[in-house]
Structure 1
Amino acid sequence: MATNERQPLLRNRTEEARSGVAQIRAHEVTASAQDNPDYPIDHGYVAWMQVVGGFIIFANSWGLPNAFGVFQTYYVDTLMPDQDAASIAWVGSIQLFFTTIGCLPGGMLLDRGYLKSIIAVGTVLEVLGLVLTSFFKSYWAILLSQGVCMGIGSGLLALIPVAVLAMFFEKKRMLATGLASTGASVAGIAYTLSMRSLFISVGFAWAVRILALIILLTNAIAFAVMRLQLQYGSKGSKFGFHHFKDLPYTVFVGAFTLFVASSFVPFFFIQEYALQLGVSKDMAFNLLSIMNAANIFGRFVPNFIADRYGGVNTLLPLSVACIVTMCMLPLATTVSSLIAISIAYGFLSGGVIIIPGPTITDLSPSSAEMGVRLGLAYLVASFGGLLGNPLIGQIKGDGKDAVQNFNGVWFCAAAVMGAGVVALVATRWLKLGSPFTVGRV
């Protein structure tokens, strides 16, 4: 990384006003903007271009686990039929684990202003992982290339939209983050449909290489448009577990971890469940796309509400509704009921997946600590992503009754999310003094 790129992402504006000491600006800053103390907050061309760049980064980081179901089904049915579904799920979970755990180094580097370098390195690792995957047919090779290499690349990118948008938006922070995060759902739809079609038309190897090219080209756009605020002051927040002395933050991180462990379960297993019910392969593939389409609206409609009432207050009813929906999955045995459940869960889970990030920024006492506190939260939550889907998948039965086979999967995921709801209530209690107190949290 070039030395002239070193520049703190976030600043303490009070300290700046007191000190008046000029600092070297990041090289990402355009010359025309250097005459101003900061880019405009909550409006302006530059701010909304961060939403565009964030949309792309969300699509090519968090959007990839949303599309893993199409790989899961192809690996089980075609490429690795000797492997059971739970073993294949480890590939997606390892990828999700590294995507989440990579947020800590990504957040620390962002605090020091390495925006462009992170995008470049993350993109190279994603593309390399996909290209290597296209040549492999063995389980362990794909686990390392798609799960580890691609996951690390996604992890470096994954925190960028949340942290950067927190700099450019205050009153509209939840909404801006929600709009950008729809990229993950759009990617889940587009990548699922296109990869399924390409697997048939050009084969697995070239389909994966085409996906690598798409990621390379779209990330190049994000590289060009994304910016940092013109920051002064600290050299970035320091890594340390002392942040967990803040009890509301710590308990909320626990809730976030439980949500990560449970919220992706229907995305991973809805296709396999539908196939065991006797649904056609075409319809089973479409269910994941339908779920991701509904997830788009679930990522910005609840966020609009969260800007007014707070992230924790919005997450509570959303997560309870997700639990009810998962418990209703055993009743979905026809195509129409599966479509209805997919739409409902896709919408409700959108907020559960994306609201925790900007909520953590709201729970941070200082803007200069947002990067590392976000990174620490995602570090802990990564273990939920690593263990959730495979362990819950182990509960799946292998009998002839599809509903009985998956009952444990849906109810276990609902129970884990239920524990997250308890942690949300505790967060309100710690923050407001009582879980019943009216207040924005």
Structure 2
Amino acid sequence: MSVSDMGINQYSRDPEAGTTLSPRPPPRTLQSALSRISLTSSDVMYPVELLNTTRGHEHHIREHQFLGLGRPLAPPRSSTTSISTLRDKPLPPISPNLEPQNGRTAWLHATAAFLVVFNCWGMANAYGLFQAYYESYYLPHTTPSAIAWIGSTQLALVFGLGVPVGRLVDKGYFRLMFHAGTLVMMIGIFATSWCKELWSLWLAQGLVTGLGMGMVFCSGIVALMTWFDERKIGIAMGLGAAGSCVGGIVYVLLARHFLISHGFATTMRILGGVAAATMIPPNLIFKMRRQAHWSSTSTPAVKGLKRRLTVLRTSLSTSYLLAASGMFFAFMGVYFGFVYMVSFASTVLKMSNTAATNLLIFMLAANLPGRFLPALISDKCIGPLNTIIPSIFLSAAAIGLWIASGEHNKGTLTVMACFYGFVSAGIQVLYAPAVYTFCLEPTAEAAGLDPLSRNESQASRLASNRMGLKAGGIFTCVGLACLLGTPIGGALISYRTDKALDHPYLGAQILAAASLLIGGCLLLGSRVARVGWEARRA
């Protein structure tokens, strides 16, 4: 279509004639106009209004600017139509396209997350071997409860740094947290090789290594959440979480081999070298998705105490508080088997060190398929909250099977170890997607949307600058549970005055099973408070 066909030629026939335009079409934004391959006639006749800010003026002046035209459309003074292709003033900068969710870059991050979890959780899962080694050889005169503080501190910091790290990530310090955390983790692992006493082991392996792991893991999980919507986050988390059991098996096998042949110091340096090599790709790949630099639309821009109260009121719903409490009790008991299974087999069942360590390897091997199946069920069918609740109750049943196996049945213990590793994987892989659903809730409610809707066009409801705060809040509850769970269990193991107990581990086993049952009930209450008793995705 030529310019004359759009009605401008009428001015050249009669310059003094009035201008009669067709009815104004619906308004179009600058972004939508530029998204077309070519301009339409309405873009020329009714250009988008741009905000022109002139230096030296106190007020903003609205001018009619064309998309490629130098002056507004008006009857020309001559029979020749003149169109300028130079702008009198430059258009304001246009934001670059946002990286898509669930795209290639997103799955590259999920693959890199495998290596992050390989190190942060693989070494934490392998601590059960070190617990037994410290009790029997390295620190033989130290109680199991005191030794357990090393692993519990490390595990707690992996979760417990969620609030401070999450807030710093929200403010744009993701790279600082991720890279600095990697460095701190390497320092802690290598420093452990020079430790010979309990306090130094706690400081290096527990505190420093755990601090680095927490910085890397918490910042990495928050970043990974921004690359996926709620329909793919479970599979992405499952892929990343698979590194936990794979890393645990690798670190257990390496530690068992080199502790016998080369000693403790050399073993820790070898493990540190493996961790350093496998953390290089994540540090090159990981970044925050551009859309994750949010500006809050659901919290008023107020300051001081009023702002804090507003954030608390909009964030701490009943379902969120019940979920945080349920996660606390669930994680009080879920890692008991991973920490004490080896020592139970060697001290109570009198199994050899190799056979006892094999139980931990069996648990971690069964943990691998147990991570993918709940993730698929969560994403494809019923959602993370509906999936994690049965996993918690099944984990409690697995510990009940452990108690029922007694202190002589080695075959039943092997079956129990595999079953426990399989069902507990659902808790380990789905707690983060469950937290993700609570991070979506405030913005969806503010927009009047169903928080559980699966419409992809509503993915923007993730745009809340409280994501790090809310995820970090539950991570902190989980970290506190991990800090207290295994030392309390170790204290019950050391407390042998009650002669009614069949063996010293019975009281700790009962505590772990009861904690899981309470956690499952609280999460069930959170689910009811969120969506009611009706059968729907949650």
TM range (shorter): 0.7 to 0.9
2:525 corresponds to: 426
| Count of aligned positions | 409
The structure, 1 or 2, with the larger RCO (C-alpha pairs under 8 Å, 6+ apart) is: 1
For the residue of structure 1 that corresponds to 2:103, the secondary structure is: coil
Residues 68, 232 of structure 1: CA spacing in aligned structure 2 closer, same or farther, 3 A cutoff?
Answer: closer
**C-alpha contact 1:178 1:299 (8 A) present in aligned 2:** yes
- What is the aligned partner in structure 2 of residue 286 from structure 1? 358
Please give the alpha-carbon distance, in whole angstroms, between the structure 1 residues aligned to 2:127 and 2:350.
21
Q: Deviations over 1:190-216 (max 9, x none)?
A: 101111111112210011011112111
Partner in structure 1 of residue 332 of structure 2: 261
Structure 1's 242 and 35: CA in aligned 2 closer, same or farther, altered over 3 A?
closer
Provide, for residues 172-207 of structure 1, a one-character-per-residue CA deviation record: whole Å limited to 9, x for no partner: 111110111111111111101111111112210011
Residue type at the aligned position of 1:197: H
Q: Which amino acid aligns with 1:383?
A: L
RMSD in angstroms over aligned alpha carbons? 2.5
Aligned-partner Cα distance in 1 for 2:500–2:122: 32
Q: For 1:134-153, list aligned pairs within 5 A.
A: 134-153=193-212
Q: Cα deviation per residue 1:77-126 (whole Å; 9 max; x = unaligned)?
A: 11111101111111101111222111222222222333332221111111
What does residue 155 of structure 2 align with? 96
* Partner of residue 166, structure 1: 225
Identical positions, percent? 27
The verdict on how the C-alpha distance between 1:401 and 1:204 changes in structure 2, with shifts beyond 3 A counting, is farther
What is the TM-score with the length of structure 1 in the denominator? 0.87
Q: 1:287 to 1:124 in 2, by over 3 A?
A: same
AA paired with 1:224? Answer: L
Distance in structure 2 (CA, Å) of the matches to 1:264 and 1:142: 20
Aligned twin of 1:215: 275
Asked if 1 retains the 8 angstrom alpha-carbon contact of 2:252 and 2:361, the reply is yes
Contact kept, 8 Å, 1:395 with 1:408, in 2: the verdict is yes
- Tell me the alpha carbon deviations over residues 196-247 of structure 1, each in whole angstroms, 9 at most, x when there is no partner: 1111122100110111121112111101122321237646899865565311
Matched, 1:306 2:378: yes
- In structure 2, relative to structure 1, the CA distance for the partners of 1:112 and 1:300 (3 Å cut) is farther
Higher normalized helix content (fraction of residues): 1
Most deviating of 97-106 and 109-118: 109-118
> 2:418 aligned with 1:319, yes or no?
no
In 2: Cα distance, 1:351 partner to 1:180 partner:
13
- In the superposition, relative to structure 1, how do residues 140 and 169 fare at CA in structure 2: closer, same or farther (>3 Å)? same
- Specify the alignment match of 2:505 in structure 1: 406
Q: Residues 29-108 of structure 1: matches in 2 within 5 Å?
A: 37-44=97-104, 46-108=105-167
Provide the C-alpha distance between the structure 1 equivalents of 2:401 and 2:414, rounded to a whole number of angstroms: 13
- AA partner of residue 325 (structure 2): G
Query: Does structure 1 residue 205 correspond to structure 2 residue 205?
Result: no
CA-CA distance at 1:166 after TM superposition: 1.8
The 10-residue stretch of structure 1 (162-171 or 284-293) with the greater mean CA deviation from structure 2: 162-171
Aligned residue in 2 for 1:249 = 320
Q: Which secondary structure state, in structure 1, belongs to the residue aligned with residue 503 of structure 2? A: helix
Matched, 1:195 2:270: no
Query: C-alpha separation between the residues in 2 aligned to 1:243 and 1:335?
Result: 52
* Matching residue's letter, 1:355: L
Q: Report the Cα distance in structure 2 between the residues aligned to 1:61 and 1:157, rounded to whole angstroms.
A: 8
Q: Name structure 2 gaps, 5 residues minimum.
A: 1-30, 33-49, 52-93, 300-306, 444-461
| Alignment match, 1:295 | 367
For 1:24, the equivalent position in structure 2 comes to none
The answer to whether the 8 Å contact 1:290/1:342 transfers is: yes
Q: Report the Cα distance in structure 1 between the residues aligned to 2:233 and 2:387, rounded to whole angstroms.
A: 14
Match of 1:379 in 2: 476
d(CA) in 2 for partners of 1:425, 1:221: 39
Contact 2:122 2:249 in 1 (8 A): no
CA 90–242 in structure 1, closer or farther in 2 if over 3 Å, else same? farther
**Aligned counterparts of 1:346 and 1:402: Cα–Cα separation in 2:** 26
Gaps of 5+ in 1: 1-15, 22-33
1:380 Cα deviation from its structure 2 partner: 2.0
Q: Which residue of 2 aligns with 1:362?
A: 437
Deviations 1:287-309 (A, max 9, x none): 11111111111112101111120
Normalised by the size of structure 2, how large is the TM-score? 0.72
Shift of 1:335: 3.2
Counterpart of 1:182, as a letter, is: A
Following superposition, the deviation at residue 422 of structure 1 comes to 1.2
Distance of aligned partners of 1:402 and 1:426 in 2 relative to their CA distance in 1, 3 Å threshold = closer
Distance (whole Å) between structure 2 residues aligned to residue 165 and residue 232 of structure 1: 10
SS of residue in 2 equivalent to 1:404: coil
Q: CA 1:401/1:299 → structure 2, altered by over 3 Å: closer, same or farther?
A: farther
CA distance in 1, matches of 2:473, 2:424: 23
Cα-to-partner distance string for 1:326-375 (whole Å, 9 max, x where unaligned): 01102334332222111111010011122111111112224222222111
Among residues 413, 418, 427, which one is paired with 1:343 in the alignment? 418
CA contact (8 A) 1:256 1:381 kept: yes
For 2:95 and 2:313, locate their aligned partners in 1 and report how far apart those are by CA, in whole Å: 37
CA 1:401 to 1:274, structure 2 compared with 1: closer, same or farther past 3 Å?
Answer: farther
